[in-house]
Amino acid sequence: MGHTTAFSVLGLLSLLVGTCFSSSLRDQVRDRISVLPGQPRNVGFAQYSGYVTVNEQAGRALFYWLVESPAVRGAESRPLVLWLNGGPGCSSVAYGAAEEIGPFHVRPDGKTLYLNPYSWNNLANLLFLESPAGVGFSYSNRTSDLYTAGDQRTAEDAYTFLVNWFERFPQYKHRDFYIAGESYAGHYVPQLSQIVYRRNKGIRNPAINFKGFLVGNAVTDDYHDYIGTFEYWWTHGLISDSSYHMLRAACNSGSSQHPSLECMRALNVAEAELGNIDPYSIFTRPCNNTASLRRNLRGHYPWMSRAYDPCTERHAEVYFNLPEVQKALHANVTRISYPWKTCSDIVGNYWADSPLSMLPIYSELIAAGLKIWVYSGDTDAVVPVTATRYSIDALKLPTITNWHPWYDNGKVGGWSQVYKGLTFVTVTGAGHEVPLHRPRQAFIVFRSFLENKPMPT
């Protein structure tokens, strides 16, 4: 009788494991992208996309796009990197995937794609997530969710997404996993990292084998970001002496996401002085005109405005609204009532909770021994290099390697300083979206990060 019971239990367990595995395999097959419209032929890597439910009761589901490394580069042994864009309210499909680190960029016709030679999927498997619900193809059946999004729910939903996603893709469990992003993802990335780290505590060989994070031109600490941003504007001749002093006096405390009336008045004066430039890349000519940029800046603190606006953003908006593209991506399955947009104004304009500083999280994760790299394009006036340097200085970390230039083909690619627990890298001539303006140099930063090697000298 005992043997029979043991056999029955073992048989049941193997049946359950088999059922779970076949279910995840079924989901993978369903999410597999055969080919995207306008995609180059014979790309040599697999792609998957679809939805993962993060809240059954609210009907909240997040859209993902997985781009694996090419088979010839050993995709099965490469790490997995989750990429997040900020805003808040902007799409990682629009920015990270379609104009920065993804394998395909959209041609001006809005219908065809071309290969990005510096795609980060040459080094890692890339997972792009449109987050929170209401951004891109991600949705909630509870409309109020779009008007009450904030940091905490975004981080919790992203963690739930990860747990469910790893169940769907068990081949990625226990593999080296990193989180990366830029801009307001300077909040998302450390916050999600903290949740993953804390929930992994005490677990041997956790399914989410989290190793560290990488952020670029990242919103980090409101006080130091304010000081560094105003200083950048003034030292680059973008604003007057009087505006600089007025900004320092009016915006010396409080939230950058919800600035005071006095601070807003000072920002409006500064905005008029900045003029018709592209603040996300101060030496780059805007696509046609900056009317849309200026409209976005008004009513928001500039580094919180919706998005950088080169022509590539417009091409993406055309492409991802094509019905055949949405069908190939298994996207928009609920037929949402609005077109796909690069950024959600509702989510961004009504953003709720936004902590003043990420520095306590940095301190916790540095102490935990995680790999942390921060990079900064030095022609960005939205989250400038000075803001990032002030924030890092506030951590009071011992220096391991002093400030020094790093090189690409004999030319200075930027500068770097290695601290105990954190590496900082600048990329010269790059704006807010470093991989867009300096794709080769951004690729070198990413490679050095993954290999945990100093920047090439």
Q: In the structure, what pLDDT confidence band is assigned to residue 287 with cuts at 50, 70 and 90? A: low
Helix, strand, coil % (nearest 5) of the chain? Answer: 40, 20, 40
Whether residue 22 lies inside any domain: the answer is no
Q: 205 and 138: one domain?
A: yes
pLDDT of residue 288: 62
Whether residue 408 lies inside any domain: the answer is yes
Is the whole-model pTM more than 0.85?
yes
* 378 carries an active-site annotation: no
Whether residue 17 lies inside any domain: the answer is no
pLDDT of residue 4: 44
Whether residue 144 lies inside any domain: the answer is yes
- Overall domain count for the chain: 2
What mean pLDDT, rounded, does the chain reach? Answer: 90
Whether residue 134 lies inside any domain: the answer is yes
Q: 326 and 435: one domain?
A: yes
Domain boundary among 264, 287, 310: 310
Q: 107 and 245: one domain?
A: no
Q: Give the model confidence (pLDDT) of 18-52 as tens digits.
A: 555 667 789 899 999 999 999 999 899 999 999 99
pLDDT of residue 308: 42
More confident: 343 or 292: 343
pLDDT of residue 300: 35
**Catalytic member of 92, 131, 183, 281:** 183
Q: 160 and 216: one domain?
A: yes
* 353 carries an active-site annotation: no
Q: In the structure, what pLDDT confidence band is assigned to residue 277 with cuts at 50, 70 and 90? A: confident
pLDDT of residue 10: 47
Whether residue 15 lies inside any domain: the answer is no
Please say whether the beta carbons of 134 and 90 come within 8 A: no
Q: 215 and 237: one domain?
A: no
Q: Residue 80 maps to which CATH number? A: 3.40.50.1820
* 176 carries an active-site annotation: no
Domain boundary among 310, 341, 366: 310
**Catalytic member of 243, 278, 380, 437:** 380
Q: 171 and 191: one domain?
A: yes
Question: Which tokens go with 37?
Answer: 């419209």
What H or E segment, with its residue span, contains residue 186?
A: helix 185-200
Q: 197 and 234: one domain?
A: no
Q: 159 and 232: one domain?
A: no
Is the pLDDT score of 290 beyond 80? no
Question: Considering only 233-242, 282-291, 321-330, which range has the smallest mean pLDDT?
Answer: 282-291
Give the Cα separation of 183 and 256 in Å (integer): 13
Is the pLDDT score of 120 beyond 90? yes
Q: 33 and 102: one domain?
A: yes
**Catalytic member of 105, 224, 432, 437:** 432
* CB neighbourhood size of 16 (10 A): 10
- The position carrying tokens 């494991």 is 17
Whether residue 187 lies inside any domain: the answer is yes
Domain that holds residue 67: 27-220+311-452
Q: Give the model confidence (pLDDT) of 374-409 as tens digits.
A: 999 999 999 999 999 999 999 999 999 999 999 999
Q: 213 and 243: one domain?
A: no
Question: Considering only 7-16, 75-84, 222-231, 234-243, which range has the smallest mean pLDDT?
Answer: 7-16
Whether residue 288 lies inside any domain: the answer is yes
Please say whether the beta carbons of 283 and 236 come within 8 A: no
More confident: 162 or 302: 162
Is the pLDDT score of 295 beyond 70? no
Share of the chain above pLDDT 70, in %: 89
Residue 369 exposed, middle or buried by CB count within 10 Å (0-12, 13-18, 19+): exposed
Q: 260 and 295: one domain?
A: yes
Domain boundary among 286, 310, 334: 310
Is the pLDDT score of 146 beyond 80? yes
Q: 240 and 97: one domain?
A: no
Please say whether the beta carbons of 64 and 27 come within 8 A: no
